[in-house]
Amino acid sequence: MKVSSFRTSGTTGKPKEFEVSDELMRARVHRLTATASKGPEFASLRSIYFTLSLTSTLGVRHRLWGAERGVKFYSDPPPADVEIDGAIGSPGSLLRTISLGRRFRYVMSSGAPLLPNDCRRIREALLAEGGVMYASYGASEVGSIALATADQVEAVQGCVGRVLPDAEAEIVDGMLRVKTPTMVPSQVRDDGWFYPGDRAEFTPDGLLVLKGRA
CATH number at residue 53: 3.40.50.980
Q: Give pLDDT, residue 30.
A: 65
Mean pLDDT of the residues in the chain: 75
Asked if residue 99 belongs to a domain, the reply is: yes
Asked if residue 166 belongs to a domain, the reply is: no
Q: Give pLDDT, residue 158.
A: 94
Asked if residue 76 belongs to a domain, the reply is: yes
**Number of domains observed in the structure of the chain:** 1
Residue 193 one-letter amino acid: W
Asked if residue 66 belongs to a domain, the reply is: yes
Query: Which residues constitute the domain of residue 113?
Result: 18-156
Q: Give pLDDT, residue 150.
A: 93
* 197-to-3, 42, 90, 181, 214 alpha-carbon distances in Å: 26, 30, 20, 19, 6
Asked if residue 152 belongs to a domain, the reply is: yes
The H or E element spanning position 8 is strand 3-8
Asked if residue 75 belongs to a domain, the reply is: yes
Is the pTM higher than 0.85?
Answer: no
Q: For residue 62, what pLDDT band results from cuts at 50, 70 and 90?
A: low
Q: Are 169 and 145 spatial neighbours (Cβ–Cβ below 8 Å)?
A: yes
Of the given ranges (6-10, 50-54, 60-64), which has the lowest mean pLDDT? 50-54
The larger pLDDT score, comparing residue 96 to residue 20, is at 96
Q: Give pLDDT, residue 211.
A: 93
